[in-house]
Structure 1
Amino acid sequence: MSTATGAPTATARTANSPSPHTDPAAPQPDGAPSPATSAAPVSPASDDRSAHRLRAFGWQARFAVLVLIWGFSFLFIKVGTQGFAPLQVTLGRVAFGALVLLTILAIKRERLPRSARTWGHLAVAAFFLNALPFSLFAYSELTIPSTLAGICNATSPLWGMALSVVALSEDRPTRRRVAGLGIGFLGVLTVLGAWQGFAGTDLTGTAMALGASLSYPIGWIYVRRTLAGAGHSHLSMSSAQLLLATVQLAVVTPLFTSAPTGYPIVPLLAVFALGALGTGFAFLLQYGLVAEVGPTTAQMVTYFVPVIATAAGVVLLGEQLSWHTPVGALIILFGAALTQSRPRTSTPPTTATASATDRG
């Protein structure tokens, strides 16, 4: 989703980066008061408090919608693979997502990047942030429940912290973050029931889901090192990225799958929702949240997505849970939260341009 779904956040930086990249197209947190708050003569302080409450309600509602969309993404994947091959589900997902973003790009009269260098780097980002993890999640859900896939997605901040220590010299580990990394992976072992020899768990499918979660921070780190300060808007870069992911999968999918013999309506609608909502519309929501309340608050979506994914899988798909699955998920989320902590600093860290990522 990441990000993890999303984390994964909609900003293409490591999961630890706390400040957004801004551009002229970004929604501003201090907009003009709405007509409802300015109609009656009130004191400036009262007017400011009313406007603040309205804005707070607005971002909280959008935050909840984003959690629901990314939480249900794992259910949509499961339903989609009941009618189509995993690569076909992924191709439909990125194609519908790209269509949403390209439509918004046209409405706003923005242009795609023109530099060949930028397109080359975005092609790599599209592979690690879209084509590869989306495909791995789709294949994993052939053999594991959507609930487990959603929980595996929550490990993305753990992988991000581990990789950033190696790849990003400015990210130095603290004892708290190292402890969070250890606690998080202890949670993974708990989810898998390691003490009982992983009985009842498909290790191949689980490894694919964990590999998908690992792919996100690889992509984030690559983008941070190659596309920081590229000079294009978040929308322009992400539209190009999803367009490239669509091209990549359009080339690969016919080589490994045959054309669908039919187009069952429920799986088709699931793929459409996965792409248009979970990969297109969700990016716009996440981008707006990052611009309005900052990535530190926006990336808290990561901690709610497994809850929704688990509830959706159990209630709507009838998936079974062992006691250690939700317990392990809580341990993972606690560890991931610790890896996000960093000492306060007076100098804001370097930020990077945004890319299209989501939490599933």
Structure 2
Amino acid sequence: MAASDWALLILLSIVWGGSFLFVGVAVKELPPLTIVALRVVMAAIVLRAVLAILRVPLPRERRVWAAFLGMGILNNAIPFTLIVWGQSHIASGLASILNATTPLFTVIVAHYLTADERLTGQRLIGVIVGFLGVAVMIGAAAFSAWDASVPAQVAVLGAALSYAFAGVFGRRFKAMGIPPLVTATGQVSASSALLLPLAFIVDRPWTLSVPSAGTLISMAGLALVSTAFAYIIFFRLLARAGATNVGLVTFLIPISAIVFGTFLLGESLAPRHIAGMTLIGCGLILIDGRLVSGLRRSVQVGRPAPR
């Protein structure tokens, strides 16, 4: 990648890492469904405005909007809600680390649901190492002293699994000839239509206390920066650097999320969380494969030629 691509990748990791900060602030005053509904509704408004400026129309076919709804459920409604609920019980940095397991789930889901993304031996080892890291993070004490943090961590892992299914489900949009930015706009629009009435029924937001300025700013940051702006960066980088390189953002998001959580929210991670994060990172490196391939090439270059 060019230097400008790396700059965009780092910016994207900061923007997406910031979503855990914004949720960590907002969840203290607002219920999960309200946070998620506001996030997708405001993001949908901004992305629709972007399409209008670019003069790119949204499709009208029912089959396309059915696909948008499916993507919105898998990529927005389910994971956003699970992460927000999870962050009401665990630190934002911990949630970001658990969310980084998405590629672990993706290689498993893709193995069974696609014909061209099979689970190789190296990737299988990476999955095992990564989930070993998850087990270390949750800790053996969870089996003897069950508290709210355990289901919260499982909820964030459920969000990562939903993202994995969304990654496989989203492959259909390329075959349908729908541009990525249109897909992003369609999915947040469809999930808005689903989540907004649900939030009204479940949370009855008109009965809630007026949020503080900090919460309102966090909601604006979550929707406008960590969702709408993030999608614009993501698809620009996707077009320039390709899906494989964009996947590197998975390694970087926990770094910014932990920094934000530590210095702005006063959070801290236990030693087992650091150990688990290290194992998950090793698993992701094995799944990604590029570092391992580079090391193998270096070893082969350094070997003396046979005589």
Name the TM-score, length of structure 1 as normaliser. Answer: 0.76
Q: State the distance in 2 between where 1:232 and 1:113 align.
A: 8
Could you tell me which amino acid in structure 2 is paired with residue 71 of structure 1?
G
Structure 1 runs, 4 residues or longer, greater than 4 Å off: 195-201
C-alpha displacement of 1:61: 2.1
C-alpha displacement of 1:56: 2.9
2:92 pairs with one of 118, 123, 146? 146
Q: State the distance in 2 between where 1:310 and 1:263 align.
A: 25
Name the residue aligned to 1:41.
none
Name the residue aligned to 1:318.
266
Q: State the distance in 2 between where 1:162 and 1:198 align.
A: 30
Q: State the distance in 2 between where 1:125 and 1:290 align.
A: 18
SS of the equivalent of 2:59 reads coil
Could you tell me which amino acid in structure 1 is paired with residue 273 of structure 2?
T
Q: State the distance in 1 between where 2:124 and 2:260 align.
A: 32
Name the residue aligned to 2:35.
89
C-alpha displacement of 1:303: 0.2
- 1:11-66 Cα offsets, whole Å, 9 max, x none, are xxxxxxxxxxxxxxxxxxxxxxxxxxxxxxxxxxxxxxxxxxxx933222222211
Q: State the distance in 2 between where 1:201 and 1:248 align.
A: 28
Name the residue aligned to 1:357.
none
1:253 aligns with 2:202: no
**Higher percent of residues as helix:** 2
1:296 aligns with 2:247: no
1:266 aligns with 2:217: no
User: Conserved in 2, the CA contact under 8 Å of 1:179 and 1:335?
Assistant: yes
C-alpha displacement of 1:169: 2.3
C-alpha displacement of 1:201: 6.9
Name the residue aligned to 2:101.
155
After alignment, is 200-209 or 120-129 more displaced? 200-209
1:334 aligns with 2:282: yes
Cα distance change of structure 1 residues 170 and 59 upon mapping to structure 2, 3 Å threshold:
closer
Name the TM-score, length of structure 2 as normaliser. Answer: 0.89
C-alpha displacement of 1:122: 1.0
C-alpha displacement of 1:236: 1.6
Superposition CA RMSD, Å:
1.9
1:102 pairs with one of 34, 42, 48? 48
User: Conserved in 1, the CA contact under 8 Å of 2:10 and 2:252?
Assistant: no
C-alpha displacement of 1:195: 6.3
Q: State the distance in 2 between where 1:174 and 1:341 align.
A: 11
C-alpha displacement of 1:241: 1.1
Name the residue aligned to 1:52.
none
1:212 pairs with one of 139, 147, 159? 159
SS of the equivalent of 1:173 reads coil
Q: State the distance in 1 between where 2:249 and 2:273 align.
A: 20
Percent of aligned positions that are identical: 30
Q: State the distance in 1 between where 2:144 and 2:118 align.
A: 34
1:243 aligns with 2:189: yes
Q: State the distance in 2 between where 1:133 and 1:297 align.
A: 23
1:113 aligns with 2:59: yes
Could you tell me which amino acid in structure 2 is paired with residue 248 of structure 1?
L
Q: State the distance in 1 between where 2:16 and 2:169 align.
A: 24
Could you tell me which amino acid in structure 1 is paired with residue 51 of structure 2?
L
C-alpha displacement of 1:223: 2.5
User: Conserved in 2, the CA contact under 8 Å of 1:113 and 1:237?
Assistant: no
C-alpha displacement of 1:70: 0.9
User: Conserved in 1, the CA contact under 8 Å of 2:110 and 2:117?
Assistant: yes
Could you tell me which amino acid in structure 2 is paired with residue 272 of structure 1?
A
User: Conserved in 1, the CA contact under 8 Å of 2:89 and 2:148?
Assistant: no
Could you tell me which amino acid in structure 1 is paired with residue 17 of structure 2?
G
User: Conserved in 1, the CA contact under 8 Å of 2:19 and 2:222?
Assistant: yes
Q: State the distance in 2 between where 1:163 and 1:120 align.
A: 21
Name the residue aligned to 2:113.
167
Could you tell me which amino acid in structure 2 is paired with residue 314 of structure 1?
T
User: Conserved in 2, the CA contact under 8 Å of 1:192 and 1:201?
Assistant: no
User: Conserved in 1, the CA contact under 8 Å of 2:94 and 2:269?
Assistant: no
User: Conserved in 2, the CA contact under 8 Å of 1:69 and 1:278?
Assistant: yes
Cα distance change of structure 1 residues 201 and 303 upon mapping to structure 2, 3 Å threshold:
farther
After alignment, is 226-235 or 247-256 more displaced? 226-235
Could you tell me which amino acid in structure 1 is paired with residue 149 of structure 2?
D
